[in-house]
Homo-oligomer: A and B are copies of this chain.
């Protein structure tokens, strides 16, 4: 890889792995098309103990946002409270009282899915559409997240790269954690899968644990939202494409390694290939530690994963509470 040429490295991969037209001109789902009913039924059949694990962090003011791109942490306010109800201020009959609430939050602020309208490649959106024909200030008019409402259920596979490699590479990271700046390469993914004895299949929802989320919770977010992090290498684009990954998520802010793997200014080059070219839905800031422990204990790294988007019309992303059932 030529570390001085992000344009070339990105353009070459975009062309090589582009899925435009693969599911028709009107497609709104990209690689989510790789999950079918049979695959979902097979995923349900993976369930053994029935243990359910949530992969969401809590949505509150303790999150990682520091204002970059006007992203705040979720602001939750009450419209009615128990204090008011108990004091008899609400004016309802027969002693009923209530509490209501409101949320204001960027859809990219916490555990989330990036939809297909979230990233563009030189003015093009998923399936080769012009970006301005897809996402205006009215939202994503074509590939809005609402179209994925029933799509994100299937076989989940966890590759715990943090656990697999976490004892070796570099400074500042505890056991089971990759260091900031560590780029996960295709060979790391293959080695981890082999060590775990799990096979990657077309239609899988791939979860990659770096361990950075545990570190951020332990040491404070610092510059987490955009700062240095372990993550997927640009060179995994072909691997994701070849394996028929339907959707992929990590436990970091931005999915891919930060700083990015170039010696000149670069920003999220793997996104630029994955979302508008592959049509790959990406997950970020997933809390994978409890799941990782459960998988290690069970010695199994596959499970039923249900990670439904909130079908906000025209949204380019969605907060999500993914549920793994083992």
A window 94-141: CB within 8 A of B: 94-108, 117-123, 125, 130-140
- As for how many copies of this chain the complex holds, the number is 4
- A185 within 8 Å of B (CB atoms): no
A125: B residues at CB distance < 8 A = 82
Q: Is the pair B82, A81 in contact by a Cβ cutoff of 8 Å?
A: no
Q: Is the pair B98, A119 in contact by a Cβ cutoff of 8 Å?
A: yes
A267: B residues at CB distance < 8 A = 92-94, 96
Q: Is the pair B59, A93 in contact by a Cβ cutoff of 8 Å?
A: no
Q: Is the pair B314, A310 in contact by a Cβ cutoff of 8 Å?
A: no
Partner among B10, B37, B94 whose Cβ is within 8 Å of the Cβ of A94: B10
CB distance from A189 to the nearest CB of B (A): 23
A250: B residues at CB distance < 8 A = none
In the complex with contacts A50-B39, A96-B119, A107-B102, A83-B132 CB distance below 8 A: yes
Bitwise interface map of A from 300 to 326 toward B, beta carbon under 8 Å scored 1, else 0:
000010101111111111011111010
Interface residues of chain A, those whose CB is within 8 Å of chain B, are: 6-7, 10, 36-45, 47-54, 56-62, 67, 69-89, 92-108, 117-123, 125, 130-140, 146, 149-151, 153, 264-269, 271-272, 304, 306, 308-317, 319-323, 325
Task: Please name 16 pairs of A and B residues whose Cβ atoms are closer than 8 Å in the assembled complex, sorted by A.
Answer: A10-B94, A40-B52, A41-B50, A58-B311, A59-B313, A77-B102, A85-B131, A85-B135, A89-B132, A89-B136, A93-B264, A95-B123, A99-B120, A101-B315, A101-B316, A153-B323
